[in-house]
Structure formats: structure tokens, C-alpha cells
Amino acid sequence: MADQDGDKTQDATPHRRQEAREQGEVARSQDLASAAVLVVGLALLYSWCGVISDFFSTFTARQLGGSAWIQTDVDTTVAQLRQLMLLVGRTLGPLFGLILLTAVCANLFQFGLLFLPEKLMPEFGRINPLPAFARIFSMANLVKLGFGLLKIILVGSIAYYDLSGQVDQIMSSTEHEVPRLALFLLTTLFWTTFKIACALLILALLDYAFQWWKHEQDMKMTTQEVREEMKNMQGDPQIIARRRQVQRQLVANRLKGTVPQADVIVTNPTELAIALQYDPATMAAPIVLAKGAGVLAARIRQLALEHGIPIVEKKPLAQALYKEVEVGRPIPGALYSAVAEIMAYVYQLKSKTMPQRNAA
């Protein structure tokens, strides 16, 4: 049976995904942006064809008709060139801008905004023929070859079936006048190309889905890799456990010096323990000497029993003291009454008189 730690069965962690993204390892299809630009470009060309046709016909008639304007001086040539660029920019600029926007959106759709300037640096390791030979016959390149052959078959099939249905019209088009013949040929060519572009876009979407699935499979991690990542990010579990043990030991040693000075221990009764001290000569209010939960609470109770310190169970008071009062700080005024009752009980146990300052 295969070792479970060697099988990539765990989904990639966010840290692993971020590292892969920083190295440029993302799911993407090289054909998706090209197919999207082709489809959108043809659609925009169809909607802009009237504007483009009017522009070029008007511009050609203006340049070739009327009186001659051509002069050999530099100023006239520069002015004419500037005017030509301005007219072309106004007419074709929105078309090219939308095509560029389509290309950007197609890439953002696949992997978002990704800036990797280090990818511009040459990688001399790729010159090595052995790894290059291995990459040629890799599974990824075989899949690319299959998609390439499928695209060739798809383009040829669509072109054949679309044009074969118009054989009669194509054969009879030679009898038409030149403008009508040109319009027929352009229309036939445009719609055939548009159908091919739509088919290529669908194929590119399938390619992207495959690339995404393959990327997710490559990103999976073994159980050991997940453990190693957690160890690197959070530290060695043994070191963490040792550190916590040392911290508990330091707290326990500190409790040995502070808890014996307390006058009373307020408990929850087992989860929490708060050690209180009150000296009316030096303190305006009782202070919290120590507090703890769980193991520390048990340690405080143990020290209280060893030194004969009264333990009083007051759940609401213990919870309030644990949450609101830090060690070494006096209790808030809202808790004076509840603490005064406990201190009176303690003085009664010790057969002492309750100090007037505390009673107030």
C-alpha cells in the first residue's frame, strides 16, 4: 500500500498558492485572450464598418480630388501627416482601444493582476538541451499538440461546411458587377471567419478549464508537506510545547511568591481563581495579586490550601474579576460591595474586626 504521506491528497494552503502566484504559476490559457480579441475585433469591425468605409472613401476622395496641394517643404508635409494621424486616430482609436481592453480583461479574467518583473530576466538554465528535450515530450506539451490538431480540424471543418453550402452563389458571383461581387466576397469571408472565431473561443474556454484543473492538481500537497509548512510558519511543535512549559513554570514560580500574601481566593469554582489582598493602611481598595484559569487556577487553590487562605466560591464575581481587573490593579468601584461581603466573611473567620474604611 502506498504511503499516505507521499500522496498529494491535500488541497493547497493559502501560503502555497501565494508562493506559486509570486513565481508566476497560475492557471491560464494562451489561446483564450487571442480568441476573445478575434471575436470582439470582428464584432467591432462589423459595427464600425459603416464609419470606417465612410472615412476612407471621404479621405480618398479629398486627397485625390480637387486641386493639387502637394508641396515639397517640410512644414507642409508635417502638417499633412499630423492631420492624417489625427483623423485616423479619431476614427480607429476607439476600435483599437476596445480591442486592447478586451485583451487586458481576458488576462485579468484568468489570473487577475500579476506583476512579475523578474520574469523579464533571461534564464540560462533553459538553454540546457536535456531539460528542454524533456519538456518537449511532457504531458503538457502533448496536450497542447492535441489542442493544436483539434483547432486545425475545427477551422478546416467550419470553413468547408460553410463555404460548401454557398458553392452555387460563389460560382454565379462572377456574373455580378465589381461592387456587388466585392460586397458578396467580403460578407462571405466575414461570416465564415466569425464562425471560426466563435468556435476557437469555445475551444479556448475548454482549454482554460483544463489548465485550471491541471493547476489545481499540481498545487495539491502531501500530508508531510502540509506539516512542514505549518512547522515553518508556526515553529516546531516541540519547541512551542517547550516554550509553553517554561512559561507555565515561570508563572507557577511567580504564584509561589504572591498567592501566600493574599487574604482570600475567589473561585468559579474550578475554572477560575483570583487571589485578593487588602491592607486598609496602604490600599484604597483590594487588589488582585494573581489570577488564572485551568491549570493555573488549580495551582492557586493548591497554594491557598497549603497556606491556610480562605477560598470563597462566587461565580459571577470571579468571572468579573478575571475579565476586568489586571494583576496588581485595584478592583473597580462596581465590585466594591461584592468584595466587601467576602472580606467581611474572611475577617469573621479570622475573628477580626472589619476595618471601617473597607466597610464603607
Per-residue model confidence as pLDDT tens digits over 181-225 = 778 888 888 888 999 999 989 988 988 888 888 888 888 888 888
- If one compares 77 and 323, the residue with the highest pLDDT of the two is 323
To the nearest whole number, what is the mean pLDDT of the chain? 80
Over residues 272-301, mean pLDDT? 86
pLDDT of residue 87: 83
**Residue extents of the structural domains in the chain:** 27-62+69-220, 240-359
pTM of this prediction? Answer: 0.55
How would you list the strands of the sheet with 311-313, edge to edge? 287-293, 272-277, 264-267, 311-313
- If one compares 331 and 80, the residue with the highest pLDDT of the two is 331
Q: Backbone phi, then psi, for 234, in 5-degree steps?
A: -105, -15
For residue 92, CA distances in Å to 40, 48, 56, 98, 273 come to 15, 9, 11, 10, 79
pLDDT of residue 358: 42
The lowest-confidence range among 102-116, 232-246, 311-325 is 232-246
Summarised one tens digit per residue, pLDDT across range 151-184 is 889 888 988 888 888 877 877 777 777 777 778 8
Separation between Cα atoms, residue 113 and residue 23, nearest integer Å = 14
Separation between Cα atoms, residue 35 and residue 201, nearest integer Å = 5
pLDDT of residue 2: 43
CATH superfamily of 240-359: secretion proteins EscU (3.40.1690.10)
Percent of the chain with pLDDT over 90: 4
pLDDT of residue 101: 92
Element (H, E) at 313: strand 311-313
